[in-house]
A and B are shown apart, each in its own frame.
Chain A
Amino acid sequence: MPKFAPAAPESVPGAGPNHGNRAPGNLRRRETAFSIALVAPALIIIAGIFLYPALFTLILSFAEFDMAALEIGRWVGLKNYEALLANAGFADAIWRTIYFGLLIAFPATVTGFLIALLLNEEFYGRNLLRVVVVLPWAVPPVVAGVLWGQMFHADVGFVNALLYRTGLIDSYRIWFGDGSAALHIIALAEGWKAIPFMVLFILAGLQSLPSQLHEAAAVDGGTSWQRFRYIVFPLMLPIIIPLMLIQFVWAMKAFDTIFVLTRGGPAGQTTTLNYFVYIEAFQSFDLGRASAAAYSLLVVTLMVVLLVTIIQRYAAARRAQA
């Protein structure tokens, strides 16, 4: 998906044809009116689908919703939030969500970077590999869940069969009966799906690096490792950090794989915040508390984004000083 860092405007507002300055004000007004007419339908729809519901949810988080009458029952102030904070499962879900996000974002970034470096080289079958690497991207998340579920299936799974054959386990394991194993398998399914996105964007970044840099370094007699460590890696960092952040935020929103593989179990040990919201809203039908949890997820997301941005600014400033 397009660059997701808060849209750096790449040209001045109203980058229309440059006759704008010379044209009479009347023509300019007509252009503005026309452009508003073109953008308005899209904006109205986006406001209706995103902005209005988001505000509705915010309001709901301070209320108790009456499911029978389908309207707000009564106002409860901060009680929904207080109830969440008093719920030990909620706090666990927050930490689990952050851990789960890292568990996907970091390995997917490293693997994606390595595969991108590979695809940036010449070798036989490169085009085929490129197609294969991108494939998991088009796999519906629900299918990814089923797929990895079958691989780790207690009876017929390939993983048990392989580990048993090679003597690493002496009896078939019920992977999804163990909360920690289950969480890591879900992360594996999500990570596998996340790799293509990382590869494509990191590869585009690698190909945009000026090739003279490499040649100069090669002439200077640097080894490949030195070239990577002192030239490619620092130049790629400003591209990789935002990509990892995007992946992290998406990972925190993961739902389909959790639903398919564990439904948040066993004993809530794979319930991330997003799944917590789903349970509150569509199983307990406590929409007020679900809304409060959804906004908590939003706050956690924003805090992580902010933290990474600050660290990145700080590191960039340090580098500039050095």
Chain B
Amino acid sequence: MSRFHHRKLAKAVFLHCTALVVFLLMAFPLYGLLLTSLQPESVIRSRELSFIPQTIYLDHFRALLVEGHIVPLREGLLNSTLVSSLTAVFCLIVGLPAAYALSRLRVPGRNGILAALVSVYFLPTTIFLIPMFVILVRWGIDDTVFSLVLAYGGFVLPFVIWILKTFIDRLPREVEEAAELDGCSHRLVMLRIVFPMARSGVLAAFIFAFILSWVEFLTPLIFTSNLKMTTVALGMFRSTIDIQVGQQAAAAVLTLLPVTLLMMVFQRLITQVLMAGADR
């Protein structure tokens, strides 16, 4: 074989070995968690190093999902689904028209608005949470779904507007311009042409908003104290804490499963929409 071929082979071997290392680095922690959740407590505590399960043990999951378990995971899953969906819908209803206007229309102070949308994410969240807590308690609406949707909606909205705006920026304008020349109003153009064309951007924004709300921890930690009102991220934490390692792992798996599945299923869409804003 020529030197050229040798070098090519060496490169291929190197790439595949590195890929394997990266795979292990990123996936092993998740695999370990899954494995722990599927093993009986005696195996977990046995101090044996084993990476291939001898048995699959589902009792941790069963125990967790029984009604009245000390870990409010059932309530958490339901509450989180409700709160995250409401937040995502809310952000889309408010964010989509704003994104259209910022992308296509003359908005006074547009650049300032765009800069503000981005810069809020540099600020420490506690700056917003301290007074919000005071206000919610004063209004007597702490510990409610509404208080969480209000807070999450605010936190996620700038990001949703931003990705929708960058998505609309990349839609072709020909149809809209033709419609406008025919005397179609901006309102009709928005409703009949732009919104339908932005469908996949809207889906991506929904998923983002859902995931961001699902993973939120500090806000429910401060705003809720009633165990019935817990979200899943909080509920899993209030769990068994260090008593039952297996159940803790199972709770963690249940918490991350919905969002991880969303991420896997919509990976292509999510990265496409996100990267639309990155390649400029």
Contact = CB atoms under 8 A, between A and B. Distances in A.
Interface of A: 1-4, 6-10, 13-17, 19-20, 28, 31-32, 34-36, 38-39, 41-43, 45-46, 48-50, 52-54, 56-57, 60, 65, 70, 115, 118, 121, 123-126, 129-143, 146-148, 150-151, 153, 155-156, 158, 161-162, 165, 192, 195, 200-201, 204-205, 208, 249, 252-253, 255-256, 259-260, 273-274, 277-278, 281-282, 287, 290-291, 294-295, 297-298, 301, 305
B19 A208 contact: no
Given A39-B113, A42-B94, A142-B233, A274 B277 contact: no
A52 to B, nearest CB: 7
B130 A290 contact: yes
B222 interface: yes
Given A38-B101, A45-B157, A150 B36 contact: yes
Given A14-B107, A118-B15, A151 B122 contact: no
Main SS class of interface, B = helix
A9 B109 CA distance: 12
Contacts of B22: 115, 118, 129, 133
Interface string B18-31: 11001100110110
B256 interface: yes
B98 A57 contact: no
B278 A204 contact: yes
Contact of A146 (B19, B123, B218, B237): B237
Nearest to B123: A298
B255 A140 contact: yes
B30 to A, nearest CB: 7
A138 B95 contact: no
A155 B45 CA distance: 7
A54 B118 contact: no
A192 B29 CA distance: 9
A123 B32 contact: no
Main SS class of interface, A = helix
A3 B277 contact: yes
Interface stretch (B57-65, B67-75, B148-156): B148-156
15 contacts: A7-B111, A38-B100, A41-B98, A42-B94, A50-B154, A56-B131, A60-B131, A70-B134, A141-B217, A142-B237, A147-B32, A156-B245, A256-B217, A259-B221, A287-B130
B248 interface: yes
B194 to A, nearest CB: 11
Contact of B122 (A15, A132, A165, A301): A301
A177 to B, nearest CB: 14
A49 B155 contact: yes
A19 B180 contact: yes
Given A49-B155, A70-B138, A150 B105 contact: no
Nearest to A130: B267
A294 B48 CA distance: 45
Which has the most chain A C-beta neighbours within 10 Å: B125, B137, B177, B222? B125
Interface in B45-63: 45, 47-49
B197 to A, nearest CB: 15
A35 B107 contact: yes
Contact of A138 (B211, B236, B277): B211
A3 to B, nearest CB: 6
B15 A121 contact: yes
Nearest to B160: A42
B115 interface: yes
Interface residues of B, number: 110
A50 B130 CA distance: 11
Interface of B: 12, 15-16, 18-19, 22-23, 26-27, 29-30, 32-33, 36, 44-45, 47-49, 94-95, 97-98, 100-108, 110-111, 113-135, 137-138, 150-151, 153-155, 157-159, 161-163, 166, 169, 173, 176-177, 180-181, 186-187, 190, 211, 214-215, 217-218, 221-222, 233-234, 236-237, 245, 248-249, 252, 255-256, 259-260, 262-264, 267, 271, 274-275, 277-280
B23 A129 contact: yes
A98 to B, nearest CB: 14
A1 B128 contact: no
Contact of B106 (A20, A46, A140): A20
B130 A34 contact: no
Contact of B126 (A19, A123, A146, A294): A294
A2 B278 contact: yes
A34 B186 contact: yes
A142 B255 contact: yes
What are the 9 tightest A-B residue pairs by CB atom distance, in nearest-first order? A49-B154, A14-B106, A2-B277, A56-B131, A140-B215, A35-B105, A138-B263, A38-B101, A42-B98
Given A16-B105, A192-B29, A42 B128 contact: no
A14 B212 CA distance: 31
A30 to B, nearest CB: 8
Contacts of A277: 124, 126, 130
Nearest to A146: B252
Contacts of B166: 2
A7 B18 contact: no
Contacts of A57: 127-128, 130-131
A28 B218 contact: no
A53 B260 contact: no
A36 B107 contact: yes
B252 A125 contact: no
